[in-house]
Amino acid sequence: MDSKSDANMLEKRSAALEKERARRKAVEAKIQEIEARYLSLFENASDGILLFDDQEVIFRANPKILQMLGYCFADIKGRKVTELIHPADLQKMPSQIHRLLAGEAVTIERRLRCKDGCFISFEQSVKRIGENMIMSLYRDITARKRVEQETRDALQDAADSETQLEEAISRVNTMALDAEVAALEMSQIFNATSDGICVINKDSQISKYNRILQDMMAGMGLAMTKETCSDVFGHAFCKTKRCLLNRILKDGHDRIEEEIEMTSADGDKRTLIVTAQPLLDLTADTVGIVASYTDITDRKQIEEELRRLATTDPLTGAYNRRQFMERAQEEIDRSKRYNTPLTLLMLDIDHFKAVNDTFGHDAGDAVLKSMVSESMVQLRGSDIFCRLGGEEFAAILTHTAPEQGVLAAERLRKALKALEVNTATGPVCLTVSIGVASLVQADLSLEQIMKKADDALYAAKDQGRDRVVAAE
């Protein structure tokens, strides 16, 4: 009976292990799919994108900005982004790095120098998206600036001509003609702009909207009608104190810009920037608002993906060393402030070089990914796990006393030892050596506790590997 029971138990465990392997493979495939999709968003974005650090030094650019300016990446890598800006623009409005580092989003017009020495006018939207990462998006507005200048010139010509008219009737006829032309031009501009635009009267009724907004709403499976704005858009600000129409009509704001979230007919979330300005009649009374809508969902996804890429290891999905150091220091400070226990684990895969040499580097990568996936399962959601480099890993166990940390490390060691990784060249098993150190002194720093855990790790290796050793 005992042998039969043991066989049944082994069979159940084997089935559970196979199910868990399938689940991990599905998760890994999904992660790879998401990474590929967001990298494609960055590479194929219709706007130019530059990434630079807090010293304004460029370290990444997408193909669109390189194409628009005529550079290859080597031409601008390591240069300050301000070197590309027209000197007159910098004199008029200097670098806004202080506002960006303070968390503000800045949208201004800049002229950037092309490789051939000419300048292109851009609308520049800049935002800090990480500890040492700032993203700047560039939309070419050269055509728009040309139209604006032509419009100003035309208006000036009209004004000059008007002063030369001798007959009142001629002035009236000319003004009527100019008004007709202006109405035609405004109608064309209204429908040619890249933003969705609508006019909302005092009663919250939509009186006019352009084709772009109609297409934008249709893309979300929603209908654009001349009903009340809350019936059409239905976002979180509607019928609240943050209603854009009421803030302009009652509070007298000249311009309001807000980020809103809308839900499409199929349940997807879309992020839009809405800008509202007063609509004035001939007596300068406010009779409603003009609202423009820009869909920034792709931009938000790029920002989020860039933030993820900046903080995680691309192979395993664990935190990278830089993010680990930041998060670990935060937890140490919190542990000291509230006098709570904290334990650090330093892990190293035993004889990992032999895995690469015997089974190949693809198998080695599979081992690293499986090791991280299993570790995430064994650790708590509040714990911090990272890949320091190569086959070396670390974990911060919050609210964990020394003896609890040793038990957690031993549980993790056993789970990883039981793990079998299927690779193209055959199944691979692994063991790990773990060093454990706890925050026991009020003045112990991150570097000190890492040194203690690292020394314990080397002691585990000296004692034969596949074991847990606690620092003294």
Query: Which residues belong to the active site?
Result: 391
- What are the beta bridge partners of residue 432? 349
> Which stretch of DSSP H or E encloses residue 199?
strand 196-201
- What are the beta bridge partners of residue 127? 135
CA atoms within 13 A on the CB side of 254: 1
Backbone φ and ψ of 137, nearest 5° = -105, 140
Backbone φ and ψ of 461, nearest 5° = -70, -40
Tokens representing residue 58 in the block: 């460029």
Rounded-to-integer distance, Cα 138 and Cα 134, Å: 13
**Which residues 6+ apart lie within 8 Å of 174 measured at CB?**
158, 161, 162, 165
List C-alpha distances in Å: 218 to 224, 262, 309: 8, 13, 33
Residue found under tokens 């991280």: 372
> Which stretch of DSSP H or E encloses residue 101?
helix 97-101
∠ CA 384-386-387 to the nearest 5 degrees?
170
Backbone φ and ψ of 172, nearest 5° = -65, -45
In this structure, the number of other CB atoms found within 10 A of the CB of residue 275 comes to 17
Question: Among 77, 35, 46, 44, which residue's Cα sits nearest to residue 60?
Answer: 77
Rounded-to-integer distance, Cα 385 and Cα 418, Å: 20
**Which residues 6+ apart lie within 8 Å of 287 measured at CB?**
201, 202, 279, 280, 281
N-term to C-term CA, the chain: 47
Residue found under tokens 């190949």: 360
Rounded-to-integer distance, Cα 49 and Cα 43, Å: 9
Rounded-to-integer distance, Cα 9 and Cα 3, Å: 10
Rounded-to-integer distance, Cα 244 and Cα 240, Å: 9
